Every structure is written in C-alpha cells, then in structure tokens.
Amino acid sequence: MIKRKSAKEALDAILMSIKAYYKNYMQKPLYQNGERIAYAGRVYDEQEMVNLVDSALEFWLTSGRYTEQFEKKLAQYIGVSFCSLVNSGSSANLLAFMALTSPLLEKRAIRRGDEVITVAAGFPTTVTPIMQYGAVPVFVDVTLPQYNIDVTLLEKALSSKTKAVMLAHTLGNPFDLNAVKSFCDTHHLWLVEDNCDALGTVYAINGVEKLTGSVGDIGTSSFYPPHHITMGEGGAVYTNNPLLHKIVRSMRDWGRDCICPSGVDNLCGHRYDNQYSELPHGYDHKYVYSHFGYNLKATDMQAAIGCAQMEKLSSFTERRRQNWQRLYDGLKDLRDALILPESAPDANPSWFGFLITCKNGVSRNDLVQYLEKNNIQTRMLFAGNLLRHPCFDEARESGSGYRVVGTLETTDRIMRDTFWIGVYPGMNDEMIDQMISIIHRYFREEIK
C-alpha cells in the first residue's frame, strides 16, 4: 500500500518545485549591450514566488497572516508604532488625508473649505484626496535642483484656514523636513509625508537620523512594481499616533467601529453589549460604522510577496544609491548643458530616479526622443505642473477650489525642461554606463 503524503509534506514538495522552476526558467540573463533599459522593474527571486504560492494554496485570499507579518516588519523598519497595509499607494494617500477629517479629531479635524499646503510638481494622488473632499490645496513653488517645496514660502501660504501640510519626497529626495516639521509644530498643523518614492531615505532631524515617513503625523508608501519594493499593487499607511491608527483602520475596513480583523468575531468580548448613536441597544458591533469608509485592504498574496521583498530592501536601497552616484559622476561634465540633481542637506536619499533638467539651448523633447530611440526609457516628473492638466480645467476657469501663493515659475520650468531616467536595483554598471554613453553621444552628434 502506498503511503499518502501529509499535507505538510505535499506543500513542501510543491514549494521545492517552485524554487527549481525559478532557477531553471525565471532567472534573467545578463544585460546585453543595446537592449532596452527600462526606468524601473521588478527585482525578485525564488522566495517571492514561494511565498506567493504558499499563500495561494492556503487560499485565505484576503488579509491574513502574511499581512500581519508584513505590517509588523514595515513598522519596525521605518521606526513607527503602527502600519496598515492597503491596496495601493494612491489608497494610502486617500486614507492618510481622510483620517484627518475624522470627527474623533474634534477641533483639529479638517473640514470642507480648510486649507492644505502642498506643491503642484509631483504625482496627482498627493493632491487628489484634498480636492475630492472639498478642502483647498494651497500650491507653492519648488526649488532646483532638489525639486522639493520652497520652504521660504510656507509662512506666506499660511492662513487662518490652514490645517495641514501634505508633501511628497520627490523621487526619493526628501523635502526640508527640519523646516517643514518646525513650521507644522509651531502652527499646530498636521504633516503627511507621501513617502511613496522614498522608502529607505534617511534624514537627520535636529541631528538625529530617521527614516522618512516616520517624522510626520502620517506616512505613506506604494508597492507598485517600479517602487522600492513591490507587491504588484499595494501600499501602506503608518503612524506613531494611536488615534490616527484607529481611524485609518476604520476607514480602510468599510468605516467599521469594530477592530476585529477579517475572519475574527467578538475580539473585545462585547459584540452585543453597547449602544451606538440611534441604533438599537446591543446592535452587532461588527456592523456599526463610525466613519464613511471603504474596503482598501490588500490580499494576503500581495503581502506574502512583500514579506520576501522586505528582506531585500536594504540591498535594494544601497544599489539605488550606487547607481545614482555612478550616473552623477558620469554626467557631471555636462553641467553646462544639464542641471543635475542634488540631495537635500542632512539627507541620504534612497533614490527612485535620476532627475535631469535641460538648460537653455537644450530641448528636453529632442533629448528624450533621442534616448527613447536608443532604447533608454524616460519619464517626466509626473504631472510637471498639475494645475496645467485637464483635471483642473473647471477649477481654473471658475477661479475656485485651490489657491496659489506667489508664482509657480520653477514648477513650470520642470514641466517644460525636466525628465528622469532610472536607477532601480535591477540595473548593473553596464546599463548605467550605456545610459551615460548615449547621453554624451547626443551632445556630440545632435547639438551643433
């Protein structure tokens, strides 16, 4: 009689075969000169695939043990008390902002018509939650070559309606956290760090090194494939504030008042004991809603990939820094024609990309098209100037819904003249050197 394998033995055999599959069929060949160089991509090995299959075979599907493990790992890494996994970085920004509108925050809650200081040079979803809620984004200009908020404009942007500052660390380069945090503390404002492009960036706050995302009241991350780690789709919201954490969890989980995780009932032991608002006494607490919320959870399969990615994050960050520095060293002789990026003082960025701004006489469009034709993928600094986009047509025509302090001259310059190329950890020295070579060739052959 053939002895049947136990479930564990069968699972172990499947996972071993996954490792073999990766090694035999999934490992990428070395870069060959002339191949397309993407600005970003997934970097993974057999462990991500093993975790993914392990989670899939468990078939829990929604958030579960891998989610809990990932949230603990990420919170510990960043240096915060609480972390909530969500389904995208955009959802993370939505939750971060919406948490600040909760009635539980009383006088500090953001209300419709209140103002939030931000910038237009960046990704739309840093601003979208503000607009859609009915708060007023107040846009100020940025500086070159750091591509972050001009902190000298903060006091000018302040009004009696200001409640928060919500900013992204541009392509891994942190904004002046010392100045912005001091400004927020002085005026009792919330600070939201959009950390989606900067996971692993270190900043010295009054001489003490901290990871970006841990300095403000709330930080956010994205785990879309180009980002510092990936789950395919995914994001996170993190904080040291237990009340904000409670609000984030409620709004992420349909707006529930109950803290029970998926598949758990009556964790508090008082599911049917209490009176809530105008509901009947003893109404099932699992279906009591203290906020207008959403279902923004990620799946446990995504979290399983993220757990494996977390083990690689430090090496990914180091490689990003090495690639960025190699690009800088290889292009610095072109500074008469190009503005090269500079890291913020007091910072050691975990770079998302390498920003380049063309000086007068150099066409950004011509250079970008030359690079693309020569198999080097490029990207704009996202919106460039968000206010110039069709989504702002109605607000711009009506003259309401937002406020601009001063001019956005540098923001417009970025929109016209700036692009970036990749530094992701899947790039090796040969790929970096190829990009340097092609850019030099453009100036030798195309610029007369």
What digits encode the pLDDT tens for the residues 139-172? 999 999 999 999 999 999 999 999 999 999 999 9
Please confirm, yes or no, whether 440 is among the known catalytic residues.
no
Which tens digits make up the pLDDT trace of 211-237?
999 999 999 999 999 999 999 999 999
Tell me what pLDDT residue 243 has.
98
Closest CA to 322 of 191, 446, 432: 432
Tell me what pLDDT residue 32 has.
87
Which tens digits make up the pLDDT trace of 298-333?
999 999 999 999 999 999 999 999 999 999 999 999
| Whole-structure pTM value | 0.96
Tell me what pLDDT residue 166 has.
98
Residues 265 and 274: beta-carbon distance below 8 Å: no
Q: Who's near 290: CB < 8 A, 6+ residues apart?
A: 104, 250, 255, 256, 257
Task: Label residues 108-138 b or e (16+ Cβ within 10 Å = b).
Answer: ebbeeebbbbbbbbbbbbbbbbbbebebbbb
Q: Parallel, antiparallel, or unpaired: how do β-strands 162-168 and 115-119 relate?
A: parallel
Rounded to 5°, angle at Cα 206 from 201 and 212: 20
Whether 448 has a pLDDT exceeding 80, the answer reads: no
Among the listed residues 169, 188, 227, 270, the single catalytic one is 227
Tell me what pLDDT residue 2 has.
56
Closest CA to 170 of 151, 145, 197: 197
Which tens digits make up the pLDDT trace of 339-379?
999 999 999 999 999 999 999 999 999 999 999 999 999 99
Which tens digits make up the pLDDT trace of 72-118?
999 999 999 999 999 999 999 999 999 999 999 999 999 999 999 99
Q: Who's near 364: CB < 8 A, 6+ residues apart?
A: 358, 416, 417, 418, 419
